[in-house]
Amino acid sequence: MAKQNRSALGRGLDALITMDDVRTNGTSSISEIELSKINPNPDQPRSVFEQEALEELAASIKTHGIIQPITLREIALDKYQIISGERRYRASLMAGLTALPAYIKKASDENVMEMALIENIQREDLNSIEIALSFQNLIESYNLTQDMLSERVGKKRATISNFLRLLKLPAEIQLGLTGKTIDMGHAKVLLSLDDPTEQKRVYEQIISEGHSVRRTEEIVREIKEGGRKDDDKKETPKKTKPVTTSKTPEEYAMLQEHLTNFFNAKIGFSCDDKGKGKIIIPFDSDQDLERIMKLLDTLEK
């Protein structure tokens, strides 16, 4: 019975490569391959292999052996290249093994890159910059559009676009993503700033003060609003501000006092002569914000 088609990530690696001519030893589909005959994949998406984690894996391999075979393709007579499992290969070398179990499969250069990327994404082994560079490499090497790549790797086009945008960030910030000193959320906020100098300045604040993504959004919003105010002053220096009342009507004053008592916070209240205005509820911390949100929830009920 023919298998039903599923998305690339749903099918897994076997769906991207032919299953013909799989080398076997005896009745097994797994071969024991000498480590000296194996070469790493030069286009491996993963560029960072943590030494401590490798040492822990090597110790486990010494005790229990290789539990999950790696996947290889034959590139010459008795010469193989890793499709997936380079971390296990490196740890096996450290553990002193001379051979390890492997599946041998046929795959083109293009499919090897795709499979290595998909396997690492599925296992969440890659950092954001490694994923972005892999996407860019596939697009440039095989003349793919973002839509075509989306189909190939089973990721939404918007997701691919977001990763590629990370490569526009200054190198210092990209290193921060690689080292996981900031996360993807911080990076997306920084990308909303057009000036690389401003991006680096806010990045340094994130590192030195440990800002959350939410706080970073506030900082960036303040920068943008400040910039717009400066531009307005330059372009329309004679423009008058909307007329606002210095004193709120009595009923507004009573409402402001009521809200201040209700939220146990000094409520900001402003209103212009057309009846338009703002109510500002300040908070001192995340815990204080949660308290206010709970009070708002009670109002909805």
Q: Quick check: 74 and 40 in contact, CB under 8 A?
A: no
**What secondary structure does DSSP assign to 132-185, as a single string?**
HHHHHHHHHHTT--HHHHHHHHT--HHHHHHHHHGGGS-HHHHHHHHTTSS-HH
Look up residue 57 and give its two tokens.
């894996």
The catalytic position among 74, 86, 250, 257 is: 86
- Residue ranges of alpha helices (H) inside the chain are 8-11, 51-64, 86-95, 109-122, 128-141, 146-153, 157-165, 171-178, 184-191, 196-209, 213-235, 250-263, 286-300
Q: Quick check: 253 and 271 in contact, CB under 8 A?
A: no
Active-site residue, 56 included? no
Active site residues: 86
